Each structure stands twice: as structure tokens, then as C-alpha cells.
Amino acid sequence: TEGKTITCKAAVAWEAGKDLVIEDVEVAPPKAHEVRIQVFYTGVCHTDAYMLSGKDPEGAFPVIAGHEGAGIVESVGEGVTSVKKGDTVVALYTPECKECKFCKSGKTNLCGKIRATQGKGVMPDGTSRFKCKGKDLLHFMGTSTFSQYTVVADISCVAVNPKAPMDRTCLLGCGITTGYGAATITAGKNGIEEGANVAVFGGGCVGLSVIQGAKARKAAKIILVDVNPEKKVWGEKFGATDFVNPSKDLKEGENIQTRLQDMTDGGCDYTFDCTGNVHVMRSALEACHKGWGESIVIGVAAAGQEISTRPFQLVTGRVWKGCAFGGVKGRSQMGELIEDYEAGKLKVDEFITHRQNLSGINQAFHDMHDGNCIRCVVDM
Ligand code: NAD
Ligand code: AHE
Ligand code: ZN
């Protein structure tokens, strides 16, 4: 297959708001500094649904979505040295070139090298590697894992221990790493400190992963806030010490901010938005402790949505920040996460509640709205 176009199945989004269609697509061979991957498993993340709904300003069609994937390198283009044919890899929607201003700053995991073309749905040379029915299809997040074969930039994948099962490690491509990293890297100077009080808004894959990270850092209180009562047991499974349902548990005159302040002697050291709801983001900021509390925005809000609060909240020392992919540098740090998983120190299997074959991928999107679906893994 090396050097030749491969025809395989992919879930194609022809237009916004419509079901995906399983099509035969042609996947061109990788050009210089590109890698063609046979995708074995992909997770389905809310950010895929968000883009497919048409609400993402960067969303464009027709497109192959998917960004939580694991697979095996089928072939590499000229000049690729970081991975080789046969390597087991995880796709990285946050690439790491190790050379750009961002990568060298030591301050962020965001990489600038291919961000512009990635946002336009094309490879770094400005073209697509996918064709279907004579038309070019766009790439998504530099990964397009809803295809049996995909082409990514070499900086957009990382070789990992082949012993780690791909049907689990695919989830390290987004949801789990995002939440865990937010708690252990983004929060504070070097992640949550021992004894800190933490509130996590939203107990999906991302929020539960924040809880897992907070527990690893020996946080004192880890409070899950979710409007779905079923999330109480989910929170406990990953280390939450308390649960508050803001649509049921609040007394008169109380709001979620004041409830959390009462539970934590004045406010949380760290709060996390894992809902994407801008009103929740405000509550999360205001539930922080005066003088030092930090609120980390992880949720992705739809185009046109804006956050607000009284500037006094910041004047009095609360901090608003956010992160993509948890602040994790994928090529440098994925290996460690996989080691932790292999050593039983990082829960991954527990997030998988649903499974589908590629032909059932639309069902995976429907199941996402089921309160007990944490992650669906698609067998490609
Ligand atoms: P999810 O839908 O599985 O979980 C969201 C949870 O929030 C649900 O349990 C829901 O009941 C709860 N919720 C909804 N409204 C609420 C409210 N008003 N108050 C409290 N809880 C509420 O989603 P997920 O997969 O965990 O992703 C969470 C968000 O993170 C999404 O917006 C997703 O797009 C985003 N995301 C961001 C990054 C990043 O790098 N920044 C990465 C992955 C996902
Ligand atoms: N394109 C959207 C924003 C989407 C977004 O913020 N994506 C996150 C990852 S979410 C993963 O599930 C991200 O990586 N952001 C940093 C970046 O460079 O895109 C919009 O609203 O414009
Ligand atoms: Zn995601």
C-alpha cells in the first residue's frame, strides 16, 4: 500500500446537522513530514458533535471528524524521523513541533507550527489527502480519526508502547488527558497542591478526569457539581468526596457559589468548568477563594457565547484561566500517561460505557446525550 492511494471506509459529514454517512474514501499517501495511520479505534468527543452541529466557527464541510484516535503507522512521508511504519500511535490534535515560539516558551502546550492550516481543515501544504465521489473532503483538528486510514502531520502523532491496548489508549487522545492534565499541569504552578479544595462543574469524561487528577494530587475536598443526579456515583468512582446538584440541592437564598463557599471555608482553591456553559463558567469563577482561587475553563462554548463577571472578582485575586488538551505536550508527555495506565495508576477502562462499530457511529452520537454515556469507543 505504501506510496499508493488507499480506499477505505470513513464516516463523512457532508453537511452540518446531518447524520454521518459511511462512504468509500480515497486516502492519498503521506507527503513530506506526514504520516498515514491505520486507525483502529476512536473515541467520540463532544467537540466532534459541536463542530458537526455547525456551531463551530472553524467547522467546514464536507469533513471527516474525529480526534480521539489510536492506530498503527502504515507509511511515512519524506523526512519523517519521529515515527516509523508499524509504530503504534495516538493522534494529537494539539501537536508538538518542539521548535516554534510556543513550544520553546516553556509556558504552554499550544503549538503554532500548523495551527492555521489545521483550523482550515487542510494539511500544512494547504491541500487535503481525502477524496470521495471526486470531491475533496476536509480534515478536522489535524486528525480525522473517523476514517480507517488518515493522514496527519508527523508532529500530530506520538508513538506509544505497543502493549497498551489501542481501544483504551485512544481516549488519551482527548477526554482523559484533558481533564487529568488540567488538574495536574494547568492548575496552579504545577497542578493542584495537596490539601486543596476543588470543585468540578460537569461530570462527563473531562470532569471525571479532573477528579482523577485532583485525587492523585491528594486534594482535600473534591466536589462534583452536576445537574444529573446519576453523576454522584460516577464522581465517587474517580475520587469525588462530595456532590451538589445545583438544580435540586440549593436552599432558598443560596446559589452554587455560596454553597461551595460554605463547604470550603470561603471558597475553592481550584474550580474547573467541564460543561461549556458560560453561566456555569461564571459560577465556577465566583466560587473561588478570595485572594488566590483559580478557575480553569475547559468546556468549549458555542460561537457567539461570552463569559462575564464583575471585574471586582479578579481585583480581589480570583484568577480565570483555561487550557486545551489539559496543558499536556503530547509528544513529550503521552508516554508517561500510558506508563501510568499500564501500572494501574491511571484509570482509563472505567470511562468506556459504550462501544460501536464504524457502521454504528451515528448511534454513538445519540448515546452521548444519555446521562450514563461517559465515552463510546468506535471499533474502526
Ligand atoms: P459531557 O457532556 O459528557 O459532560 C458534561 C457534564 O456536564 C454532564 O454530566 C452534564 O450533566 C453536566 N452539566 C451540564 N450542564 C450543567 C450545569 N448547568 N451545571 C452542572 N453540570 C452541568 O462532556 P465532556 O465530554 O466531559 O466534555 C465537557 C466539555 O469539555 C465539552 O464542552 C467539550 O467540548 C469540552 N472539551 C474541551 C477540551 C479542551 O481541550 N479544552 C477537551 C475535551 C473536551
Ligand atoms: N474551534 C472552536 C474551538 C474549539 C476548541 O477550543 N478546541 C479545543 C480542543 S477541544 C477538544 O475536545 C482546542 O484545542 N483549542 C485550542 C485550539 O487551538 O483550537 C471555536 O470555537 O473556534
Ligand atoms: Zn475532544
| Same domain for 300 and 282 | yes
Active-site residue flag, 205: no
pLDDT of 47: 96
| Same domain for 135 and 58 | yes
| Same domain for 369 and 293 | no
Catalytic residue among 42, 103, 177, 282: 103
- Is 57's C-beta closer than 6 angstroms to any atom of ligand 2? yes
Model pTM score:
0.98
Active-site residue flag, 318: no
ipTM of this model?
A: 0.98
The whole-angstrom separation of Cα 333 and Cα 329 is 6
Q: CA distances (Å), 339 to each of 87, 175, 377, in order?
A: 17, 17, 21
| Same domain for 200 and 285 | yes
Burial 272-308 (b: 16+ CB within 10 A, else e): bbbbbbbebbbbbbbbbbeeebbbbbbbbbeeeeebe
The pLDDT-based confidence of 371 (bands split at 50, 70, 90) is confident
| Same domain for 187 and 45 | no
Let me know if residue 335 belongs to a domain.
Answer: no
**% of residues, the chain, pLDDT over 90:** 98
For residue 57, the domain's CATH number is 3.90.180.10
The whole-angstrom separation of Cα 357 and Cα 372 is 19
- For 46-98, the pLDDT digits (tens) are 999 999 999 999 999 999 999 999 999 999 999 999 999 999 999 999 999 99
Let me know if residue 339 belongs to a domain.
Answer: no
Let me know if residue 336 belongs to a domain.
Answer: no
pLDDT of 370: 83
Distance (angstroms) between ligand 1 centre and the Cα of 85 equals 36
- DSSP collapsed to 3 states, 131-195: EECCEEEECCCCCCCCECEEEEEHHHEEECCCCCCHHHHHHHHCHHHHHHHHHHHHCCCCCCCCC
Query: Domain boundary residue among 286, 308, 323?
Result: 323
Query: Which residue has the least CA distance to atom 1 on ligand 2?
Result: 58
- Is 109's C-beta closer than 6 angstroms to any atom of ligand 2? no
- Is 352's C-beta closer than 6 angstroms to any atom of ligand 2? no
| Same domain for 362 and 277 | no
| Same domain for 198 and 164 | no
pLDDT of 142: 98
The whole-angstrom separation of Cα 5 and Cα 12 is 18
Distance (angstroms) between ligand 3 centre and the Cα of 149 equals 19
| Same domain for 199 and 91 | no
The DSSP symbol for 315 reads H
With 90 as the cut, is the pLDDT of residue 244 above it? yes
| Same domain for 276 and 305 | yes
**From the CA atom positions of the chain, what is the Rg in Å?**
20
| Same domain for 166 and 39 | yes
Question: How many separate domains does the chain show?
Answer: 2
With 90 as the cut, is the pLDDT of residue 292 above it? yes
pLDDT of 105: 98
For residue 219, the domain's CATH number is 3.40.50.720
Let me know if residue 371 belongs to a domain.
Answer: yes
Distance (angstroms) between ligand 1 centre and the Cα of 297 equals 11
With 90 as the cut, is the pLDDT of residue 167 above it? yes
Give the domain range for residue 215.
178-323
pLDDT of 359: 98
The DSSP symbol for 63 reads B
With 90 as the cut, is the pLDDT of residue 296 above it? yes
Amino acid at 71: G
Strands 222-225 and 242-244: parallel
- E strands, 166-305, are 198-201, 222-225, 242-244, 270-273, 294-297
Q: Is 79 left (phi over 0), alpha (psi -120 to 50) or beta?
A: left
Specify the DSSP element, H or E, that contains 26.
Answer: strand 21-27
Let me know if residue 107 belongs to a domain.
Answer: yes
Distance (angstroms) between ligand 3 centre and the Cα of 173 equals 8
| Same domain for 212 and 128 | no
The whole-angstrom separation of Cα 144 and Cα 234 is 30
Q: Which of 211, 330, 199 is nearest to 269 (CA)?
A: 199
- Is 174's C-beta closer than 6 angstroms to any atom of ligand 2? yes
Let me know if residue 337 belongs to a domain.
Answer: no
Catalytic residue among 33, 36, 42, 68: 68
Q: Rounded mean pLDDT of the chain?
A: 97
Half-sphere exposure (Cβ direction) of 283: Cα atoms closer than 13 Å: 22
With 90 as the cut, is the pLDDT of residue 305 above it? yes
- Is 58's C-beta closer than 6 angstroms to any atom of ligand 2? yes
Let me know if residue 55 belongs to a domain.
Answer: yes
Mean pLDDT of the region 99-125 = 98
The pLDDT-based confidence of 302 (bands split at 50, 70, 90) is confident
| Residues 344, 333, 66, 279, CA torsion sign | positive
Tell me, rounded to whole angstroms, the distance of Cα 91 from its chain centroid. 12
Closest ligand, as measured to the CA of 110: 2
* Measured distance between the N- and C-terminal CA atoms of the chain, rounded to whole angstroms: 18
| Same domain for 297 and 367 | no
- For 18-42, the pLDDT digits (tens) are 999 999 999 999 999 999 999 999 9
Let me know if residue 310 belongs to a domain.
Answer: yes
Query: Which residue has the least CA distance to atom 30 on ligand 1?
Result: 299
